[in-house]
Amino acid sequence: MQLYNTLSAKERAELIEQAGKERLTISFYKYAKIENPEIFRDHLFLSWDKLDVLGRIYVAHEGINAQLSVPADNFNLFKDHLDTISFLENVRLNIAIEHDNFSFLKLKVKVRDKIVADGLNDDTFDVTNKGIHVEAEQFNQLIDDPNVVLVDMRNHYESEIGHFKNAVTPDVDTFRESLDIIESDLKEHKEDKKLVMYCTGGIRCEKASAYYKHKGFKNVYQLEGGIINYVRQVEAQGLENKFIGKNFVFDERRSERISDDVIAHCHQCGEPADLHTNCANEACHLLFIQCESCKEKMENCCSTPCQEIIHLSFEEQKALRKGQGNSNDIFKKGRADHLPHKKDLRNIFEVFKKTE
């Protein structure tokens, strides 16, 4: 029974290019009780591998979180298979705004403790007691209300390139960091303010809304389907788009253009830019924002030392990496000290408090 990829990412990319067929990039999630995640994982891999599905899927006792790519020709077969799984029947599928046939190059179905790393003890509160889900039209009305605090539940490197107007954007590296910070900074407004949250596809808000209700917030709302679903509804219904910039996504595309606004800056030269790149030095691989000019000048590297390393032979580069584990510095997402124009740290509720 084959439960692994037999082709490398490069070989898969070549096959996709040769096929010349459109692929759809899709994401979905569902909180549900899964008794045996290992068996469920095996079932998904065997079923989806036959349909040429590629992507990154996490399953846990609490549910499933999936980001994937499927050939457009196989979409109906894929949907039919989802409908055979009781808790996934008619699940909302967030279809990408901008498609890229190479958004995923392998099928990875992994068992995790949680489908999103939130650091919470779910036994201490009712995870089903969620906030009020709102669609795009009601969301637009809510965030115009002066009695609303709009909070971006994503990480700083996501909101840096795009966010909703007047949103509070936590300056955090991980979702778990933001939970206590937001609760602490808004503790005086648990009853008199409406807490409205949004994220990429809705999954982070799903758990956060139940957590904040448990913490005593009386009026908790979340954007149904996240930014991806919001943009589709705005276009279909002719609503005002209140999202500025780009939506960060967790695949090879890295982002989707939502508005023409470029709200971020190159971390190397400071010029307007909103395209993330990973440093070409495999021992670094830092994610940061780089303009086209710096990309050409620095050869996709974040620093001169990294640029020098990529010109060494493969064996020399491998020797330099030997014995060095991946430190947390690699995943600072653009906070590295050698980037002169990295995003400034600040109190995440500074703007909100000034307007009280």
For the chain, the farthest-separated pair of C-alpha atoms sits apart, in whole angstroms, at 62
Closest Cα to residue 181, out of 167, 166, 168, 165? 168
Torsion of CA 111, 115, 118, 121, to 10 degrees: -70
Closest CA to 158 of 293, 64, 256: 256
Q: Kind of pairing, strands 194-198 and 148-152?
A: parallel
Distance of alpha carbon 305 from alpha carbon 280, whole angstroms: 11
Phi and psi of 135, rounded to 5°?
-85, 175
Catalytic residue, from 199, 205, 294, 302: name it.
Answer: 199
Cα separation of 351 and 356, whole Å? 9
Q: What are phi and psi of 222, to 5 degrees?
A: -140, 150
Our answer to whether residue 294 is catalytic in this structure is no
Whether residue 147 contacts residue 246, with contact meaning beta carbons closer than 8 Å, is answered with: no
For residue 222, count other CB atoms closer than 10 A to its CB. 27
Determine the Cα–Cα distance for residues 317 and 309; give it in Å rounded to an integer.
7
CA distance 250 to 328: 19
Kindly give, in sequence order, each residue whose CB lies less than 8 Å from that of residue 94, ignoring residues fewer than 6 positions away.
26, 27, 28, 201, 202, 225, 226, 228, 229
Catalytic residue list: 199
